[in-house]
Amino acid sequence: MIAARSRQRAIGRELRRMYDEVVQEPVPDDFLDLLKKIDETKGKKDGAS
């Protein structure tokens, strides 16, 4: 029982570690430019119509 519980705790910590590791990564530039690009594309379309 105790071994199973400590294993569950270790799994929980490892899951959070893996997730947080990605969260801590710097966000790639193309993500930040994405919304701007969408707006520019939309702006052109709106202007053309």
Distances (CA, A) of 39 to 31, 34, 43: 14, 9, 6
Task: Quote the CA–CA distance of 9 and 27 in Å, as a whole number.
Answer: 29
Residues 6 to 35 in contact with other proteins, rule: CB under 8 A: 6-8, 10-25, 27-28, 30-32, 34-35
**What is the nearest approach in angstroms of other proteins to the Cβ of residue 45?**
12
To 5 degrees, how large is the angle CA 6–CA 10–CA 16? 145
* Number of residues located near other proteins, criterion CB under 8 A: 30
Q: Which is nearer to other proteins, 26 or 48 (CB)?
A: 26
Residue ranges binding other proteins (CB under 8 A): 2-4, 6-8, 10-25, 27-28, 30-32, 34-35, 38
